[in-house]
Amino acid sequence: MSKIFDTQLRGIFDRISAQEEQFEMAARLLAQAIMTEGEIYIKSFDEANFFNDYLLNSQEKLPKSKYYQGEHLTSADRIMVIAPHYTDQVHEMVAYLEEASIDYVLISNKSSEMIDSIMHFIDLKTSRAIVPNESYEKFITPHLMAINYVYYKLYILLEEMGCIDLNDYSSSERR
């Protein structure tokens, strides 16, 4: 089972990485907030809430990031919506952002219920469990690993764009 898990997880990461254009567009969108008067707001749902503290308080947080709690957003602000599944709550949030003309990045598994106009979408590629047991029932759905992987790909792109200065961290802080 361990080898199956490793193989399946590598496949998921490969399929996520193949979304190069989506990553580039998402990173550019977030960079706009960092380089202007905007803020990057994080809005997570369900299991993705697990990442809130890390995304907002770690040494590797995005500059100018805050948790979205219903604040008034300006055209300079960007919001990163993170959810394992495109639920009704996520749909309502995306519909609100579309109606308010607020630019956002949606990180979720693809769903047939998605709004057609979503422009900055990164698919987690974890819509189902990946490891079969002895009775061929599958378990382990690695949403959190995929979310973490997507976050770090965006983080690296933003660093390459000059939006994150790694020299701001002293060597003692990075341990």
CATH code for the domain of 89 = 3.40.50.10490
| Model pLDDT, residue 53 | 94
Nearest residue to 24 (alpha-carbon basis) of 149, 164, 147, 121 = 121
By residue range, what is the domain housing residue 112? Answer: 2-163
CB 82 within 8 A of CB 98: no
| Model pLDDT, residue 171 | 43
CB 38 within 8 A of CB 73: no
Positive or negative CA dihedral for 91, 120, 20, 165? negative
What is the full per-residue pLDDT of the chain (175 aa) written as tens digits? 889 899 999 999 999 999 999 999 999 999 999 999 999 999 999 999 999 999 999 999 999 999 999 999 999 999 999 999 999 999 999 999 999 999 999 999 998 888 777 879 999 999 998 998 888 888 999 999 999 999 999 999 999 999 998 776 544 454 3
- Residue 168 inside a domain? The answer is no
- Residue 170 inside a domain? The answer is no
Note if the pTM is more than 0.95.
no
| Model pLDDT, residue 150 | 98
- Total count of domains within the chain: 1
- Residue 54 inside a domain? The answer is yes
- Residue 173 inside a domain? The answer is no
- Residue 52 inside a domain? The answer is yes
Angle at Cα 106 formed by Cα 105 and Cα 107, nearest 5°?
115
Nearest residue to 120 (alpha-carbon basis) of 145, 144, 94, 89 = 94
| Model pLDDT, residue 20 | 97
- Is beta strand 131-132 parallel, antiparallel or unpaired with respect to 138-139? antiparallel
| Model pLDDT, residue 168 | 63
| Model pLDDT, residue 169 | 56
